[in-house]
Amino acid sequence: GAGVSQSPSNKVTEKGKDVELRCDPISGHTALYWYRQSLGQGLEFLIYFQGNSAPDKSGLPSDRFSAERTGGSVSTLTIQRTQQEDSAVYLCASSLTGNTEAFFGQGTRLTVV
């Protein structure tokens, strides 16, 4: 595709349910980032995938959060047993290497009710 694609664009879920957020990066990009952003706030780093290296998961806020990147391409961020404080916009970005221009998707707005 022409850019980074995220789905769904909006998700409303009940507290306690699990959700999966998907990111399709730009083909050939080895680096993939997940961020979380609350209204009016900065980017909160969640996880970083770079090629075949072990992902940097240091930003995941709890063990309810996990992410995988299959075949070095599509990535899925899973939040188990969602809580209201998980409500935010989840942004995915990819870049050719880790420190070149990052291309962002439009994000998934998650609302936990």
Shortest approach of other proteins to residue 55 CB, angstroms? 10
**Sign of the C-alpha dihedral, residues 87, 88, 94, 95?**
negative
Per-residue mark of binding to other proteins, 12-31 (x: CB under 8 A): -------------------x
User: Which of 21, 32, 33, 77 touches other proteins by CB under 8 A?
Assistant: 33
Phi, psi for 71 (deg, rounded to 5): 60, 25
Buried b (16+ CB within 10 A) or exposed e, 5-41: bbeeeebebeeeeebebebbbbeebbbbbbbbeeeee
Residue with tokens 């299959």: 70
Among 1, 27, 28, 42, binds other proteins (CB under 8 A): 42
Interface residues for other proteins in 72-111 (CB under 8 A)? 89, 91, 93, 95, 97-107
Interaction site with other proteins (CB under 8 A): 4, 31, 33, 37, 39-40, 42-43, 45, 48, 50, 53, 56, 58-59, 89, 91, 93, 95, 97-107
